[in-house]
Each structure stands twice: as C-alpha cells, then as structure tokens.
Amino acid sequence: MKPLASDRAFLLLLAAVLAVALLLVISIATPFGLSAYLSNAIGQLAAFAVLALSLDLIWGYLGILSLGHGLFFGIGGYVVAMHLLKHSYEVTGRVPDFMQFMGWSEFPFYWAGFGFFLYALAMMAAVVLLISGVFGYVSFRSRVGGVYFAIITQALVYVAMLLMFRNDTGFGGNNGMTGFAVVFGWPIGLNSVIIAMAAGSVLVLGMTLLGCRMLLGSRFGILMIAARDDEVRLRTLGYETLRLKLVVWCLSALIAALAGMLYVPQVGIINPRLLAPELSLEIAVWVAIGGRGHLIGAVIGAVLVNAVKFWLSAAAPELWPFILSGLIVLVVLVFPNGLIDLAKLKLARPMGVKRLSSETPELR
C-alpha cells in the first residue's frame, strides 16, 4: 500500500468528504447553503458509506464475506433509538408509541440508563463486541470461512429479524420505534438540527476513512492483506491468524454499529426490516460495485448506488430491482473489481481490454 502522503486518490476523496462537511457546517449557521432535505439525504448516504467501509475492511482486506453486517448496523440503530426515545420521554414526558401499543406504563428494566448517551454508547459497544466476539471466535477457531461463513452470518441476521418482529421483546416489535422528539436537548425536527446531524455523519465518515487508512497502512494492515492472499502461508510462518481475524471482525462490527447510530436519528424510525437479509446482501453489493479492497471504492459504491436508489424509488420504484440486478451482473462479469476497474481502464489503456481479472484471490 502506498504511503498516505502519495495516495492521491484517497486524499482527493478525503478532501471531498471534508469539503461536504464544511459546506454542511456553513449551512447550519447561515441561510445559504444546502436545504434540510438535501442535507438529510447526504447524511444518510454518509451513514451508508460508513457501513460499506466496515464491510470492505473485513471483505476487501481480509477476504471474509459477511452477509450479516445488517445485524450490527441494526444493533447500533436500536441502541440509538432507545437512547432517543428515553431522552425524549425524559424531556417531553410523552410515553413512546410502542409502549402505549403494548399497554405498558413504564419502560422495561433493561431500558434503565439509556437516557445517558455515553451509557448507550457503552452498551452498544458491549453488545456488539459480545456478539461479534463470541460468534467470530467460534467461527474462526473452527476455520469456518468462505461461503459457509457468509451463509451463517446471513442466517444470524435473519434470526435477529424474526426476534425483533416479536412485540413482547420491549424493542418496539414489528412497528419498530419512532417518534423521536429530542436529540441532545434539541428538537429533532429543526432544520439546523437536521443539517447538524448530517454534518456530524459526514465528519464521522471522514474520520472512519482516515482511521481505516492508517490501520491499513500500518504493520497490522500488511498482515491483514497477507492473511487475505494466503492465510495458510501466514499461519505456517507462525502468525496467529485467529486473533488477527477476530480483531478485524470486531472492529468492523463496531464501525457498522456506528453507521447504524448515525443512520437512525436521520430517518427517524427503526424497525426490524433493517435486519432483513436483503439489506445485508445489498451492503456487499455496494462494496462490490464500488470496488472491493479499496476504501474509495466502498465509499463511492455506497454513495452512488444509494443516490440512484433514492432517486429511482421516487421516480420509478418498479425499475429499481431490475437495475440493481443488472448492475450486479455487470460488475460480476465485466468489472470484477467494480468501478475501480473503470478508472484503471481509462488511465492505463484507452482502448480497453477484453477481460479484467480479480485483484484479490478468493479460493485458496
């Protein structure tokens, strides 16, 4: 991997992200700049980009495909929704809808303390680390990998969805949770608050990008790529890949949960559909379309696909699944490294080559 200072494409992307963040910050204070609607869309895209980064870290740089990253995204979303509801209740005194629906007058005991953001954050980290740690440990220890791992993670997120659809769990059931009124003491519907949340998301995206880049540039990152390209050889050389994989897996899960915490306040609702296997598969699709094994690819893929999706869901909702499946087939057959291939094609060979090969071997 190139040193950070000479990685022009990455620096360009980082600069673009920071510029958008700056534009949003300006829009908070002044009447010029972006509208609340547009800012909200940008904020959601930034949350998805963070989510794509988390998957790219484990898939693109360690070769482990998770089709259940929606689970951690969902945990982050649920935790922040619990915090917002509890906080809103403490400020406005209005009992949340799902409790009225269940006929409860007070919160279940495990909601205690969620009014404090730091406690919620700590709970999120604890739950995510517990689930990802235990699951990762048992899977990697028995060397479950490749397609097996992908399928089992998908079953995991599916089961979590079924669990959350139940109404008696105290997490909103099939209606989910909505009606957040206050965030950090500010009314959530205020234009400046919406823009501020979007600015926060874009800033977090920038920080995650930089953090991931620094991790990958370090010795640890070199080990990751070595494990991806030939794990057996790395093990033979005496490196313990279990610990390596486990650390990256847990880190990736934490970043996905962070994305969920950014996403839910901006859409104002969470329900179990967030845990549907389709969303988890879609994350992999964003990364594959953008370019797996490239931080830039993950961000661009997530932003592009979701921007088109936002636009088409309004314009031609029937068309979207066909376009998405067409895009996937195109990426899979013609551009094995996603849009990154397109960029290279233009730079290296103006006339193009017929068949591109995958940069990262999958079968060992």
Interface contacts to another protein, rule CB under 8 A: 59, 65, 67, 135, 138-139, 141-144, 146-148, 150-152, 154-156, 158-159, 162-163, 165-166, 277, 281, 284-285, 288, 318, 321-322, 324-326, 328-329, 332-333, 336, 358, 361-364
What is the closest distance, in whole angstroms, from the C-beta atom of residue 285 to another protein in the complex?
Answer: 6
What is the longest distance spanned by two Cα atoms in the chain? 69
What's the CA angle centered on 12, arms 331 and 336, to 5 degrees? 15
CB-nearer residue toward another protein: 172 or 206: 172
Which is closer to another protein, CB of 160 or CB of 209?
160
Smaller CB separation from another protein, 151 or 307: 151
Residue 348: strand, helix, or coil: helix
Give the integer Cα–Cα distance in Å for 182 and 186. 5
Q: How far is the CB of 204 from another protein (least distance, A)?
A: 27
Residue with token string 């205690």: 112
Question: Using an 8 Å Cβ cutoff, are 338 and 288 in contact?
Answer: yes
Q: Which is nearer to another protein, 10 or 249 (CB)?
A: 249
Identify which of residues 192 and 325 has a Cβ nearer to another protein in the complex: 325
Cα 330 to Cα 302: distance, rounded to the nearest angstrom: 17
Could you tell me if residue 35 is left (phi over 0), alpha (psi between -120 and 50 degrees) or otherwise beta?
A: beta
In the complex, the smallest distance separating the C-beta of residue 67 from another protein, rounded to whole angstroms, is: 7
Q: How many CB atoms lie within 10 A of CB 101?
A: 12
Asked whether the beta carbons of 45 and 302 are under 8 A apart, the reply is: yes
CB of 355 to another protein, least distance (A): 9
**265 vs 272 by CB, closer to another protein:** 272
Nearest distance from C-beta of residue 57 to another protein, angstroms: 15
Estimate to the nearest angstrom the gap between the alpha carbon of 153 and the chain centroid: 15
Q: Residue 98 Cβ, how far from another protein at the closest point, in Å?
A: 18
Residue 209: CB minimum distance to another protein, A: 24
Using the minimum distance from each CB to another protein, give the nearer residue, 15 or 159: 159
Q: Which amino acid is at 326?
A: G
Helices of type H across the chain: 8-29, 36-59, 69-92, 97-102, 117-141, 146-165, 191-217, 219-229, 231-236, 241-267, 277-290, 295-315, 320-333, 339-348
Q: Report the residue number, 219 or 355, with the smaller CB distance to another protein.
A: 355
Token code pair at residue 124: 């999120």
* Residue with Cβ nearer another protein (167 or 191): 167
**Can you read off the two tokens belonging to residue 9?**
């494409």
User: CB of 135: closest distance to another protein in angstroms?
Assistant: 7
- Report the alpha-carbon distance of residue 264 to residue 270 in Å, rounded: 6
Dihedral (Cα; 82, 84, 86, 90), 10-degree rounding:
180
Amino acid in position 109: F
What stretch of H or E contains 269? strand 269-270
Q: Please, what is the minimum distance in Å from the beta carbon of residue 34 to another protein?
A: 33
